[in-house]
Structure 1
Amino acid sequence: MRFDSDRTVVPLPDHERLLGGSVADPLWTIRDVSAYLTVPVGTLYQWRHRGEGPPAIRLGRHLRYDPDSVHRWALAQAS
């Protein structure tokens, strides 16, 4: 929700219309990945620095992870 110039409430576009009819899975934060993999956040930063961890997406100054990519990466590490 946002306010118009005359302070009336204007609803934001809903995600289904923005994404072509379906709501996409939200991206994970580094804390989400840390909890899923049961490793400290610092370890994820080290892995990223070395190019060893799950693939991340940088959005501005924030790292985000696609849950499917994290799952695939974890399975690949197990084999």
Structure 2
Amino acid sequence: MNKALFTTKEAAELLGVSKAFLERDRWAGARVPFIKVGSRAVRYRLSDLESYIERQIRHSTSEVA
């Protein structure tokens, strides 16, 4: 199991979103789980990013999230 931690930039690249998307997400309530390292550093676990991706799967555009 890979225990590597991703920076915001790396996590954004993996998800195909902007850094700003993840920064806003943290501010608004964090749908994408993150880890605070020290007082300022933010990191993401691969397993949390993969879980987030799985939760986004929809079978119709009319489904409510």
Q: TM-score, normalised by structure 1?
A: 0.64
User: Which of structures 1 and 2 has the bigger CA Rg?
Assistant: 1
Looking at structure 1, the residues matched to 11 and 46 of structure 2 have their Cα atoms a distance apart, in angstroms, of 8
Among 46, 49, 53, the residue aligned to 2:27: 49
| Contact residue 2 and residue 46 of structure 2 kept, 8 A | no
| Contact residue 44 and residue 53 of structure 1 kept, 8 A | no
Bigger RCO (CA 8 Å, 6+ sep) = 2
- Would the alpha carbon gap of residues 75 and 24 (structure 1) be closer, same or farther in structure 2, given more than 3 Å must change? closer
| Contact residue 30 and residue 64 of structure 1 kept, 8 A | yes
| Amino acid aligned to 1:70 | L
Post-superposition CA distance 1:9-56 (Å, at most 9, x none): xxxxxxxxxxxxxx8521111111110111110110001111143100
Q: TM-score, normalised by structure 2?
A: 0.76
Gaps of 5+ in 1: 1-22
**Aligned equivalent of 1:36:** 14
Gaps of 5+ in 2: 59-65
Aligned length: 57
Moved >3 Å (runs of 4+): none
Residue 45 (structure 2) pairs with residue 66 (structure 1): yes
